[in-house]
A and B are shown apart, each in its own frame.
Chain A
Amino acid sequence: MASVEKVGNIEPMPKIYPIGGGKGGVGKSFVAASLGALLARHGRTVALIDLDLGASNLHTFLGMPAPKDGLNRFLNKHAQTLDSTAAPTPVTNLFLISSSTCSMEIANLFYAQKIKLINAIKKLPFDYVLIDLGAGTNFNTLDFFLTSNKGVFVCTPEPTSIENTFRFIKAVYLRKIKQLIKRHDFDAQAKAAVLDTASNALTSRDIMDIVATYDPEKERFFKACIGRFQFKLILNQFRKNADAGLGKKIETVCNRHFYSPFEFLGGVAFDERVIDSIYAKKLYVKNYPATASTMELEQIAELLANGQPASSLLQPAL
């Protein structure tokens, strides 16, 4: 079980971006499908993994029928490797590992299967792996989000979505810290206090305090571990009346009050045609290559690929 944590100094082969954010309906699958397609268009190989287990529908965003096979073949051992379950999509270089053909009870994945899956994801032979996650903060979702340190939070400018995002961030920290405490040699009292299942109301702040009290030397180790995250934030369904500076403000707040660096990647304008594309079973960014939303998604894809926006995209020629 230690293997999940042992990434060591070896950078995993693909760049993995888990896409989460707590609230349902904010566009996680839309963002995942769009960014996957745009990164693939840059000539990189991209695997999209639909890990919204039990509610998987990423294929619809890609404008393709549900693949006949996918994750289920890997989990029931019919496929040796995870990458052999990846289905081609209408976009060159973009592949989909779907969970739509998994058992109806897939949402309750066995622990061993989850670990096997996470380890396989880290070794996928693609340039990029985008993991589309479901809503909520259940353990599976959190563990998949922790597959890499480059988690992307998608939210909308609404208070409810922002509230869920903050809760999701805190849940991610808590899960990570618990993992660390289980796997490392912490003071027995600290361990007992943190892992005490009766104290369900534990927050990551409390954990920090508990560790600081019982095992002060470990506090630095802790902070170093969670300081290694490089979280990203995307504001989707951005309407004209929303505060244009909101993304930057949330970035500032997160950087000041959490323990890891956060980067606001950009806003994506609200567009009715996103819904139209889903009805028409067409990939939005392909169908509408010149809308504001597509250009904003391109900028975000560019940031993920190169760490900086393309200069040609900064000032759209018109």
Chain B
Amino acid sequence: MKTFENENYYQILQVPANARADEIKHAYRDSLAIYEAESVATYSLFSDEQRERLLQAIETAFDTLVNEEKRNAYNQMLIDTGQVDAAFFSRQGQRKSDAYCDTRTLSNEKRLSQWVQKKADTPEIRQRIEAILSREMLSGLELKQLREAYGIDIPEIHAVTKISGDSLKRIEANQFEDLPAEIYVRQFLKAYADVLRIDSGHVIDSYLKFMAQAKPDTDHDRA
């Protein structure tokens, strides 16, 4: 059987040389879904050792390509060692932005949830998240920090929850006056918390508490 031995990081993740960060992230998750130990698609195909090495290669490829500095150094190395031609990297702007997002909607939710689980299992991230959640009130900024701790962007939350990107941004930016009625905000917060697999009851209560404190006057005006 062939392994990834002679493949460069782009080939390992099966992304083009000018892939954007979000594409690399998607490709990474797709690869994990195929090669992780629980995957049915590769059931019994590899020995534990082989699988470990494949996963390690995917991990290294992702780590490098998702970090701009490391990626540039890696690209330079590929060119310097003659593994690829410099032209390999200079096709920016020629590609279709929808090249990757068409066939993937089906399992979006599942992949995102696997990703969140994985992140939540990482001790440092777990700690950061718990520190934020331990506060009595949660501002939009803190929700944003939570989201970023998981490494998830707004379009990804939108893809799963169908909440518009604008609404999500307003929640995170504490633009309360532009938000819809509270019942909707509650639903938004619940969906948002569910994606991040955190206690939605707590998120709703503490965000609404913050909101009430931040704009007591407007509430009065309305009343």
Contacts of B106 in A (CB 8 A): 244-245
A167 to B103, CA, bound (A): 29
**What are 28 residue pairs bridging A and B, where the CB atoms are less than 8 Å apart in the complex?**
A159-B44, A162-B40, A162-B43, A162-B44, A166-B43, A166-B44, A166-B45, A204-B1, A243-B40, A243-B41, A243-B107, A244-B106, A245-B106, A245-B107, A246-B41, A248-B103, A249-B33, A249-B34, A249-B39, A253-B34, A253-B41, A253-B42, A253-B45, A257-B1, A257-B45, A258-B1, A258-B2, A259-B2
Tell me the number of A-to-B contacts counted with CB atoms below 8 Å.
Answer: 46
The yes or no answer to A250 lying at the interface (CB within 8 A) is yes
Contacts of B1 in A (CB 8 A): 204-205, 257-258
Residues of B at the A interface (CB closer than 8 Å) are 1-3, 33-34, 39-45, 103, 106-107, 110
Knowing that A159-B43, A166-B45, A252-B41 touch, tell me 4 more A-B residue pairs with CB under 8 angstroms.
Answer: A243-B41, A249-B41, A250-B41, A258-B2
Contact of A244 among B3, B40, B107 (CB under 8 A): B107
Contacts of A157 in B (CB 8 A): 40
Top-3 shortest CB links A-B: A249-B41, A163-B44, A159-B43
- Min CB distance A263 to B, Å, is 16
Residue of B nearest to A247 (CB): B41
Contact of B43 among A163, A204, A205, A257 (CB under 8 A): A163
- Min CB distance A105 to B, Å, is 33
Contacts of A166 in B (CB 8 A): 43-45
Residues of A at the B interface (CB closer than 8 Å) are 157, 159, 162-163, 166-167, 204-205, 243-246, 248-250, 252-253, 256-259
Contact B2 A252 (CB under 8 A): no
A248 to B33, CA, bound (A): 12
Contact B107 A257 (CB under 8 A): no
Contacts of A204 in B (CB 8 A): 1
Contacts of B110 in A (CB 8 A): 243
A246 to B41, CA, bound (A): 6
Residue of A nearest to B31 (CB): A252
